[in-house]
Structure 1
Amino acid sequence: MKEFELGYVVEMKKGHPCGGNEWEIVRMGADIKIKCVKCGRIVMISRSKFEKNLKKVLSIPEKSEQE
């Protein structure tokens, strides 16, 4: 199983029509909302479809939480 969290930038099997192929995860739940890094369009897809079409995790955000 592939690991992903809120804020991760991922690559999907299919690119966006704008030409971008990088997506940022902006909401997680039963459905996952992803935003195209290139044009800013937001798409919501089911978790099962997201996991099936996820190619790889490109970047992980740095945690800047103060304890």
Structure 2
Amino acid sequence: MERTYTVGEIVKTKKPHVCGSKDWKILRVGADIKLECCGCKREIIMMRFELNKRIIK
């Protein structure tokens, strides 16, 4: 099942970021997804299939 993501949505990951936060805000959606950590505001780009594996279902 393919999950759809929207800009501005907050997703929760299984493992925390280095800063301790598990919450990520979606900034851009496409073949890859740009995320911003809600704790330290660091931005990363992740492939869609990687994000599907890392979020809490």
Percent identity, aligned pairs only? 39
TM normalised by structure 1 equals 0.75
Structure 1 portions without partners, runs of 5+:
57-67
Q: Which has the higher contact order (CA 8 A, sep 6+)?
A: 1
Which residue is equivalent to 1:21? 22
Alpha carbon RMSD of aligned pairs, Å? 1.3
Shift of 1:6: 1.0
Counterpart-to-counterpart distance in 2, 1:34 and 1:18: 15
Structure 2 portions without partners, runs of 5+:
none
Shift of 1:51: 1.0
Aligned residues: 56
Q: Which amino acid aligns with 1:47?
A: R
Counterpart-to-counterpart distance in 2, 1:45 and 1:3: 15
Q: Which runs of 4+ in 1 moved over 6 A?
A: none
Q: Which has the higher strand share?
A: 1
Shift of 1:14: 1.4
Counterpart-to-counterpart distance in 2, 1:10 and 1:3: 12
Alpha-carbon contact 2:23-2:39 (below 8 Å) kept: yes
